[in-house]
Structure 1
């Protein structure tokens, strides 16, 4: 009789333990990151401003010393990185252009710096012209091939990209490993991408290189998130902040975990507001708009979207936010035509699968289902593994009554809901 009494108790205990483990585990803790939300000083920013003051005075006293312009430009890039103020990026470009003109475009390091500035502005074709100019000069060829890989990836010239990647092959080189990680991520092999990014981080740790440690840890935060390893993602972002307490990208990553995984909209907004106080860029308004949409707060959703467009109007961001603009405009019948026009420009700027996805999505939202399918099958299917692109593909298939093609994508998307965000729960389930 004793045994019979024990068995139900054991069953209850097992079920209780299992039930506790399957409950969503709290990953983030305010005490981990609160200190990074209230930092008053930014040493990197102060240093850059002092450097600008120092080099500007030197250049004013000796305008023939062209090398001072590169020093100034580099520090303006730092200002852009930490503040998000687009005018600093343009000032950096002006200084580099002046420097290159003075050298008659003969110094590869200065040419490459301008090319990287163009990449930040999403002026990829112009960046490619400069990268090829550097290659023709021949000096510092490996550094130029790294740049060429980056540009070719942005332009969707993948055979050229892999050729440049193979040319710099060195499994002990940080720059090679992070690009190898990017290549594998592009192919959809996320596990391999993570392995190479971890190797890169180990090299950064070995040489105690602050910049490389920040870069590798923050990128691992992204990769882990894509792989559903949310706790690892959170810890990587915290490690990034421990190295640089002012690195807002890592705080934004934590805000996404709080919103998408833990569905804590109030806390996510608190983090975003703290970041935006020092690093103000339009995408923060879009994130706040997403959060408001999830809360069912239409007034806040529209208010933040309008704030995004107001910031776009007051600053010249060029093509930097074209993707966001297409996705917003395509969702509204009144602006769907505008989405199509921007998508066409984006395909012209960078003919990648992701750009063609924007084009196909715009046509779908204009009711041109067959046209959308034609573009998607030719330029998107099997060429991009981004969850949002896959969702668009599934919707295009569904609108063309191709249920057999929709079903496997839906199954894949169900495991990518964290990356897509809470507003996609219902959308994916309805596929």
Structure 2
């Protein structure tokens, strides 16, 4: 089972690196961003449209246009505010619309499939998309949505075929999706170029441009380039001040690159005051671990688990719950149950790796290694899964293999929990 390093090791690690590199997220920058924060214009426009379409709905005479536009505004409200109830209300509106039209409106099924992806209900999204395609979709809609579902389900060959069908030098959606495939294939430079291209193709749509820039920031961090990641996140925030993913990206740079837990705490707490999603609680747990405050770390871990396991979120946070249950929360049985449920939702190399790690944490080492050989070995994995597989190999006494996994994980240290990054560094120095 995964053990966190003794609390004293992290402050030593922080202190040894504090002055080696230039601070990227300064107090002046952070104070300015927080002081001048206002909701983006797109939020006000969306609220106006939301109220307009809502006012046009007549429950006694259900229609299509008003209801579908209202649901779209609710979906955007969720993306801007993090209020999960808006997303759930959009679900209800679309389900009622689908019923009212006797399940014969393709666009309603397509919208519900997109909702399913947003909430990590991937099998359900696949079923809804099949219905939409049977009713009739335009070619671009069909191929783009098919890519999204296939990619999430781990059907990568199909995803590539669907993407090739919408290949276009001037399409935002094509390059956004191509970036995901290039990243999966380990073509990180191409993935970054694709996402930057998508941002350039967003035109005057500041929201879409901000989404692409925020994703580019993540890719730059994956490529160990925090300077460009910071610039991408800042550009994203300039496009959409409520881009709290980019806000948290800046906080992560402050924590991992600048070794400034206090600054990271300031940014994460600000996000927590504006956005109710559990994501920031997970980052606060990691920040507390870096500070060596085990009591605060445990408190944030419990807070995250309590929020993330609310039925309204479904399985949206399973990966992070597995990480905490096999770590600071010391409940590997809960991790195994979540990993099993996740495999029923989508069976990908990544989710199989989660199950492998959960089995290993439950001391079912033979089962874990057998599953690794059948479903994970040789497949593309992210840094966290690479770290977990390194621990599996270490436990199996396969030290050469463990070192190779740790070396691969170390190439994306910004994607690792700080304690895991320290563990990897120590192992590679032995």
Output the TM-score relative to the length of structure 2: 0.90
SS at match of 1:52: helix
2:22 is matched with 25
Alignment partners' CA distance in 2, 1:141 and 1:85: 33
Alignment partners' CA distance in 1, 2:130 and 2:139: 11
Flag the structure with larger Rg. Answer: 1
Does the CA contact (< 8 Å) of 2:192 and 2:219 recur in 1? Answer: yes
Q: CA deviation at 1:201?
A: 2.2
Does the CA contact (< 8 Å) of 2:298 and 2:328 recur in 1? Answer: no
- Alignment partner for residue 51 of structure 1, among 35, 49, 52? 49
- Higher relative contact order, chain-length normalized (CA < 8 Å, sep 6+): 2
2:136 is matched with 138
Does the CA contact (< 8 Å) of 2:81 and 2:242 recur in 1? Answer: no
SS at match of 1:316: helix
Alignment partners' CA distance in 2, 1:85 and 1:325: 20
1:70 is matched with 68
1:179 is matched with 177
Q: CA deviation at 1:183?
A: 0.6
Moved more, 84-93 or 31-40: 31-40
1:99 is matched with 97
Does the CA contact (< 8 Å) of 2:298 and 2:329 recur in 1? Answer: no
- Alignment partner for residue 335 of structure 2, among 313, 327, 339? 339
| CA 1:109–1:314: 2 relative to 1, 3 Å | closer
Q: CA deviation at 1:325?
A: 1.6
Aligned structure 1 segments of 4 or more residues deviating by more than 4 angstroms: none
Moved more, 88-97 or 129-138: 129-138
1:166 is matched with 164
SS at match of 2:360: helix
Alignment partners' CA distance in 2, 1:44 and 1:333: 39
Q: Deviations over 1:17-72 (max 9, x none)?
A: xxxxx931222234334343242444333333332322222113873333211111
1:285 is matched with 281
CA RMSD of aligned residues (A): 2.0
2:14 is matched with none
Moved more, 104-113 or 247-256: 104-113
Q: CA deviation at 1:248?
A: 1.1
Does the CA contact (< 8 Å) of 1:115 and 1:128 recur in 2? Answer: yes
Alignment partners' CA distance in 2, 1:229 and 1:131: 38
Q: Deviations over 1:183-222 (max 9, x none)?
A: 1111122112112222222222xx3332331122111111
Alignment partners' CA distance in 2, 1:302 and 1:269: 16
- Alignment partner for residue 33 of structure 2, among 32, 36, 43? 36
Moved more, 75-84 or 143-152: 75-84
Q: Deviations over 1:246-296 (max 9, x none)?
A: 211111110110011111111101111111111111121111111111111
Output the TM-score relative to the length of structure 1: 0.89
1:405 matches 2:401: yes
SS at match of 2:57: helix
SS at match of 2:315: coil
Q: Residues 384-423 of structure 1 correspond to what in structure 2 (within 5 A)? A: 384-423=380-419
Does the CA contact (< 8 Å) of 1:286 and 1:308 recur in 2? Answer: yes
The count of corresponding residues between Structure 1 and Structure 2 is: 408
1:429 is matched with 425
2:150 is matched with 152
Moved more, 221-230 or 301-310: 301-310
Alignment partners' CA distance in 2, 1:151 and 1:185: 17
Alignment partners' CA distance in 2, 1:259 and 1:332: 19
| CA 1:425–1:322: 2 relative to 1, 3 Å | closer
Unaligned segments of structure 1, at least 5 residues: 1-21
